[in-house]
Homo-oligomer: A and B are copies of this chain.
Amino acid sequence: MKSINDQGGKAPAEYFSGEVNIKKLLNPSDYNTIMVIVSFEAGARTNWHTHSNGQILIVTEGVGYYQEKGKDIQLIQKGDVVEIPVDVEHWHGASKNSALRHIAIVPDSSTDKTEWLDPVTEQEYTSDLI
């Protein structure tokens, strides 16, 4: 049986900044769903990206940030369920001083298109007073 406490392997460097590990919790074809556990060290984050079917995050440890393009950075923490709308450009990751771990779920994975965009710059990451 898999566990959300599993660490997994290094996430692909072209889509993330900093130290990020990722582990698949499901074989996507079994449930037409991507489900992974992602562990970000403090300061680590995804690039900006979009999902054509949206995404749900469930924060299982720590404190982090979530931002949709053009909106303020939101603080996210253990227990939070983050609903990411279809095709909205966004990023997520750890806060400056705390690691973050979240489950990430992409529904209807057989039809989803995830588009990876630019890294989140230091200026974008530190732009809010968090």
Contact = CB atoms under 8 A, between A and B. Distances in A.
Given A4-B58, A33-B105, A58-B58, 16 more contacts: A1-B80, A2-B80, A2-B81, A3-B79, A4-B79, A4-B81, A26-B56, A26-B81, A31-B54, A31-B83, A35-B56, A35-B81, A35-B105, A60-B60, A105-B105, A107-B108
B81 A32 contact: no
A85 to B, nearest CB: 8
Interface residues of A, number: 28
Nearest to A31: B107
Contacts of A53: 31-32
A54 B103 CA distance: 19
A26 B33 CA distance: 15
Interface of A: 1-5, 25-26, 30-33, 35, 53-54, 56, 58, 60, 74, 76, 79-83, 103, 105, 107-108
Given A3-B81, A82-B1, A33 B33 contact: yes
Contacts of A79: 3-5
22 contacts: A1-B74, A1-B76, A1-B80, A2-B81, A4-B58, A4-B81, A25-B81, A26-B83, A30-B54, A30-B83, A31-B54, A31-B83, A31-B107, A32-B53, A32-B107, A33-B33, A33-B56, A35-B105, A58-B58, A58-B103, A105-B105, A107-B107
